[in-house]
Chains A and B, each alone.
Chain A
């Protein structure tokens, strides 16, 4: 069983659809993240949850809505997306010890296409 699992692997949705991305980590970590990776751009941090509280929200549009029901699960709810939101969405987890030395473990990502 891989450390961080994401579903679905691929998603095609219209601009009026509502969908959710799911992430589960089996590493016992205390922080979970959503990143966006667009073609030829660096990974962009979207949201961070530490101990189930959102601690980072990088000015992400409200059409992206995260949810972290417990330390092992993370969701990203999508609604009324735009074509420019098409990208690879990556979930990650880490064990935060306070020293700033967090190492990220990523899921395999969801390749999202918005038509």
Chain B
């Protein structure tokens, strides 16, 4: 089983749609969780951290369920500029153990 697994995608949605991505992780001792965004041929950039209480940043909402070892990202009112690959990222304990998922590709169409 992969350490971090994501929906394979691609997701093709119209502008204005709501889209949700899921991610599961295998190490129950994982400490911290993030979503990164990677545009085509560019470097990954931190989108947001993920907390058990849930957190929101504008149109983006992230949620963590430690019991189920599950992370989600919800994007509301999708924009063309949201088209990218979204990477689920998990930090294991002990330092320097950052594990990336393979990413979920999103295409937002006019």
Enumerate chain A interface residues (CB-CB to B < 8 A): 31, 33, 40-43, 45, 48, 50, 55-56, 90, 96, 98-109, 111
Determine whether the beta carbon of A105 is less than 8 Å from that of B96. Answer: no
Q: Classify the secondary structure of B's interface with A.
A: strand
* Residue from B31, B46, B87, B102 in contact with A105 in the complex, judged by beta carbons closer than 8 Å: B46
Determine whether the beta carbon of B43 is less than 8 Å from that of A106. Answer: yes
Interface residue count on the B side (C-beta < 8 Å):
25
* Residue from A40, A43, A45 in contact with B44 in the complex, judged by beta carbons closer than 8 Å: A43
Between A and B, 9 residue pairs with Cβ closer than 8 Å are: A42-B103, A96-B96, A98-B95, A100-B95, A101-B31, A102-B32, A104-B36, A104-B44, A111-B41
Determine whether the beta carbon of A102 is less than 8 Å from that of B91. Answer: yes
Q: B34 interface residue, CB < 8 Å from A?
A: yes
Q: B45 interface residue, CB < 8 Å from A?
A: yes
Q: Classify the secondary structure of A's interface with B.
A: loop
Q: B11 interface residue, CB < 8 Å from A?
A: no
Q: B42 interface residue, CB < 8 Å from A?
A: yes
A43 proximity list for chain B (CB < 8 A): 44, 87, 100
Digitize B75-110: 1 where CB-to-A-CB distance is under 8 Å, 0 elsewhere: 000000000000100011111101111110000000
B43 proximity list for chain A (CB < 8 A): 90, 106-109
Q: B61 interface residue, CB < 8 Å from A?
A: no
Q: B55 interface residue, CB < 8 Å from A?
A: no
Nearest-neighbour CB distance to chain A for B98, whole angstroms, equals 7
Nearest-neighbour CB distance to chain B for A106, whole angstroms, equals 4
B22 proximity list for chain A (CB < 8 A): none
Nearest-neighbour CB distance to chain B for A62, whole angstroms, equals 21
B87 proximity list for chain A (CB < 8 A): 42-43
Inter-chain CA distance A96–B46, complex, in Å, is 16
* Residue from B32, B42, B101 in contact with A100 in the complex, judged by beta carbons closer than 8 Å: B32
If A103-B46, A105-B46, A108-B42 touch, whether A96 touches B102 (CB-CB below 8 Å) is no
